[in-house]
Amino acid sequence: MTRLLDLGIEHISKIIMEMVELSEKSVFTAIDSFEKGVDVKKQIFEWSERLRQLQEEVADLAIELIARYQPVATDLRFIRSCMEIAYGFFRFGRYSYDIVDVLESMGSVADCDKSAVLQMATITREMILLSVKSLQARDRDAVGRLYEMDDKVDELYRKYLQEAISPQTNEHKQISEPRCYISALLILRYLERISDHACYVGDSVYYIITGTSRPRR
């Protein structure tokens, strides 16, 4: 006989999968907008708002399941972790909106050097896909690879900041152009935060499987 708790957990899982699809589309569309100069702010705002609503649904349902059925062991770990995972996917959407908002506020970046942003975006895309795959496959080992990629993202961000501080060593001509530099710096920061949340998803998957937190480096 199917438990009511199982039905609730299945419902949470379906909401999470909807969030996966929306968050991926949000980030990838925002990156394409930066690269190709397409205005997608309205669409990403709608996706971001939908992700916010879904995140609230997950939180409300999780609290209800815990209060009504007092789940233990694996069930409790899954329900608790889904609240954190849902928040992570919501933040993907919110940072995607922040990226396109920068593009609207700063104006066209068509004449700017985009290499630093696109390099980080490539790693961030991979991290998002890996975090989703780890959730779907219950891969406890993916979190280690996520943090390795996160180190690369952090290194790129610090490098760009250092170039701004020491212009004579910079590889990006746009440092001398405030509009290009500021827009790139803001977008790099949002991508860096997206990569952090991809790691947090991996942390949650690790906790679901093992019941313990991943040892910190």
Q: What angle do CA 93, 99, 100 make, to 5 degrees?
A: 95
Tell the CATH superfamily of the 4-210 domain.
Answer: Phosphate transport system protein phou homolog 2; domain 2 (1.20.58.220)
pLDDT exceeds cutoff 70 at 2: no
CA distance 205 to 138: 6
Least confident segment among 17-31, 87-101, 169-183 = 169-183
**C-alpha 57, offset from chain centre:** 19
Q: What six digits make up the tokens of 46?
A: 């709608």
Q: What six digits make up the tokens of 182?
A: 């500021």
CA distance 49 to 56: 11
CA distance 33 to 90: 19
* Stated pTM of the model: 0.91
Q: What six digits make up the tokens of 99?
A: 């990226």
Neighbours of 68 (CB within 10 A): 11
Average pLDDT for 171-191: 80
pLDDT digit string, tens, across residues 141-156: 999 999 999 999 999 9
Give residue limits of the domains in the chain.
Answer: 4-210
pLDDT exceeds cutoff 80 at 174: no
Average pLDDT for 96-111: 92
Q: Output the pLDDT for position 167.
A: 57
Average pLDDT for 194-211: 96
CA distance 124 to 27: 9
Average pLDDT for 167-194: 78
